Each structure stands twice: as structure tokens, then as C-alpha cells.
Amino acid sequence: MQESWQTNYNDIKEEIERFEEMENGGKSCYFDVHTLEGIFDFYADKFQFDKAERVIRLGIRQHPDATSLQAKHAIVLIEKGEDQAALRLMERLTSLEQSNPEVFLNLGLVYLRSRRTAEGIRAFGKALELTFEEREETLLDIAVYLNQYDQFAACIEVLSAAENDYPDNDALLFELAFAYDKLNRVEEGMETYQKLLDIDPFSENAWYNLGILYIKKEDYNSAIDCYDYTLAINPSHAEALFNKANSLVNLNQPAEAIELYIEYISFGYDQLLPLYYIADCYDQMGQRDMALRFYRHTIETDPFYFPAWLNYLAHLINNNLVDEALEASQEALEYHKDVGELYYLRARVLLLAGDFKKALPALEFCVKEDPGNLRNLYELFQVQRTLYPRRKPLKMLQTWLQRYPNSEAVHYLLAAYFLLEERSLKTAALHLEQALAENPGDLDLLLDFYPELEKMIQKSKKLSQLLEMHTNYEF
């Protein structure tokens, strides 16, 4: 909780010293209300709220009816996190001192912190009505509070109404641009940051945030230009360095990105994400050994970082490094015991090793966790048919249908079964229609698994109509 203090504390230097002597010597001194307010502001401005609170307690003892000191006491309560006590005090003060903008400003903050948003915004409006000499500072306080508590639309409304009054206030422009950014009003945010940069072309934060907006537009070249300006102003701006590297990756320049990730690490910042991204860059470049080295390094840095395990295991599987994949997949499950995707990768590794029996329970776990996942169910179906060739496929599918009646994956496989093995167009159509209604996006995956289905569907008017009804699929 901050005020915009502008007091020249030299004017009350002797009074501050007298208060210090009183505290150190244990003797009592008298101060008038105005002096106490000044001493309080001096300590509050230095964030010495323990001393500021002692000043106010002394003041209230000496001047129990001074509402201005009560208002200062509310600031102390807010700083201590005693919002309900501050709220009771300020609500009482608003009826006694209806012309003090500080009370309404602080009241608005506590309302926001108490999730009484509408009341907070009304209190801020009242504070602005009552503020004359320090209106610009009060407006900035309100904007900061609204953004801090995610009231971006309200912040935009307040600042837009006053934008023409203070066109050269870069702090107000920054808060306005920030609010636009958070609401994904990208063009307005970019325009506002540009106004800010016209005032202060050396604002590293404005250049950096403008770069983020260019990324949202997927204009990575312009984003890199912004980050270059940021780094020219502040070569140690780690986030700009990191985001520039990410933009280079999006421009398919992984080698250049790697250099920046390494530079970022050299500043001593958290190395987990850059290590992971470096591994991915080497993967994209086809440098398998370097990719593997950095995937291992990422896992060693934080074995609880789940995305690294996914890419590490996928890399091992894609490069047929079965022995390491067997060991790594088992270790991954020690850190992430209930993650279906890791069980799927574990099953893939076991299938590469030819161990279908151990792959079976891993796939069963995946299906139980997400019965609508067509890929997992298809894999389980194939493994079961391999392990139990005498078991009737329809029996397996019907068992799953009873267990997961709303699973689109089950209906997709039943549609494929009735078309390919039973030649029952009518029954296949019923299952295909339900699957398409639930998840039309998995049709392409089904046709990848059973490419011969495409011609069968194309030849059937009924099935073709189903595809036209639910998808944009073109034969």
C-alpha cells in the first residue's frame, strides 16, 4: 500500500529527530496532527512500517478524534494484511471524512483484495472525483491496483478516459498497454507501447513487451528487432535473450537459438528450460548425439520436469535406443506414477523389445485413464490380438463398449471392425456416426490405422454422407 508522497522531509527534520530521541530515551513528547502525518509519511516512504505504526499509535493517543491519523492507521493495517480491520476502519471514515481521496483509494484496494471488485472500482472512482492536486499520481495508483488484481478492462476504461489529460505520462501508458496485452487486444497494445517509446525510446520494458505482442502476432522477425533494442539498452536483460532465442526457433534457426540459450545460462539463471530447448534444437537439426546429451542433462537437472521425459523417451524410441529407453521409461514412472502418456511410451519401448506381455498392462493403464484416446485403444487392441489370437476380436471390442459406452475410440474401432471383418455396413454406420459426433478429428487417425477404409467409405453413399455431415474430409 503506497501513497504518492511528495513531502520535503527537511521541513520536519527536527521533529523526526525529536521522535527518535523520544523512542530512544523513553520520554513522552507532544506533536501536532500535521507533524505526525509528516513523520508517518517519512517512515512509510522508507517502508519502515513498524516505526510508522508507532507514530500513528502515538498520534491517536494524543489526538483521538483526528480522522486523518485514522486514515494513516488504515494504511498500516493494509500493510500488515489485516484487511478486515482496515475495511471496518475505512468504511467508518468514509462517513466521517467524505472529502479525503486517500481513504477511498485505500478502500478500493482493500475491496479488490477482498474480491469485492465492483465496490473497489466505485471507491476508485470516488477517489478520482476528490483528487485535484495529485490526480495524476492517484490515477497511476488506481491503474496499478486494477492491473495487479486482473481488472484489465476496468483499467483500460479508467485510463482511456484520462489519456488525453496526461499524454506524456509514460507510466500511465505502460499500465494501459499492459492491460491491452492481457486482454489480447494486440493492435491497441502495440499502438500504446509505440506512444510510450515515442516519449522514451530507451524504455527497455516497453521494447520487451512490444516484442511479446509481435510474438502473439507470430511476427517473429519484428519480435527479434524489439529484443535487439531491449538488449542494446540492457545487455543483461535475460528474458529478452530467452525470448529472442524462442523466436529464432520459430523461424527455423535452431543453431542461432542454441547460442542464445547458452548465453542465457551463462548469466546464472535457471537452466532447466534452456537445456530442454537446446536438446529440442539439436533434435530438429538431426544432431542426435547432442540432443541426447542435453535431454539427459535436463533430466538430471530436474527429474520432475515432465515434458523433458516425453521428448527424451521419444528421442530414444525414434532412434531405436531400446536398452536406454527401457531404463529411462522405468525411471520416468518413478517420478510420474500416474501419467498415462509415460505408460504409453513405456509400452512402446517394451514392444520394441518384443515384450508384449509387459506392454499389455501399461496400455491397459492408458486406456483406463483415457478411454477416448483412439491411439491407445488401437495399440491395446493390436497387442491383445497378438497375445490372444484365439480370442474373438468382437468380444474384446464389446467388452470395452460395455465398460466405456461413450468412448468415441471404441466406436471408431467397432466401425472399422464391422466394415473390414463383418462387412456389415449398417452396424458400422451406427458406430461411425456416434464416433464422428463425439470426435470428428480422430477420423484421420483411424484412416492412418486402416487405410483400406477410405475406399470403402468413398463407395458408400451413407458413409460418405456421414463424413460430409460431421467433417470437412476430402477424398
Do 42 and 5 belong to one domain? yes
Do 1 and 88 belong to one domain? yes
Residue 206 lies in a domain: no
pTM of the model: 0.78
Higher pLDDT, 116 or 83: 116
Do 11 and 122 belong to one domain? yes
Indicate the residue among 131, 150, 165 that finishes a domain: 131
Indicate the residue among 304, 329, 361 that finishes a domain: 361
Residue 390 lies in a domain: yes
Residue 208 lies in a domain: no
Do 14 and 119 belong to one domain? yes
Do 409 and 321 belong to one domain? no
pLDDT over 70 at 114, yes or no:
yes
Q: How many domains does the chain have?
A: 3
Domain interval for residue 37:
1-131
Do 326 and 398 belong to one domain? no
pLDDT in tens, 317-345: 999 999 999 999 999 999 999 899 999 99
Do 357 and 380 belong to one domain? no
Do 90 and 121 belong to one domain? yes
Do 71 and 122 belong to one domain? yes
Mean local confidence (pLDDT), 41-60: 87
pLDDT in tens, 145-158: 999 999 999 999 99
What pLDDT, on a 0 to 100 scale, did the predictor assign at position 270?
A: 92
Do 353 and 399 belong to one domain? no
Residue 190 lies in a domain: no
Residue 53: pLDDT band (50, 70, 90) is confident
Residue 256 lies in a domain: no
- Contact indicator for 89, 60 with CB cutoff of 8 Å: no
What is the pLDDT of the chain when averaged over all its residues? Answer: 92
Residue 196 lies in a domain: no
Residue 189 lies in a domain: no
What pLDDT, on a 0 to 100 scale, did the predictor assign at position 9?
A: 64
Indicate the residue among 106, 131, 156 that finishes a domain: 131
Do 388 and 451 belong to one domain? yes
Q: What is the CATH number of the domain that holds 346?
A: 1.25.40.10
Residue 78 lies in a domain: yes
- Contact indicator for 9, 16 with CB cutoff of 8 Å: yes
Do 53 and 112 belong to one domain? yes
pLDDT in tens, 121-138: 999 999 999 988 889 999
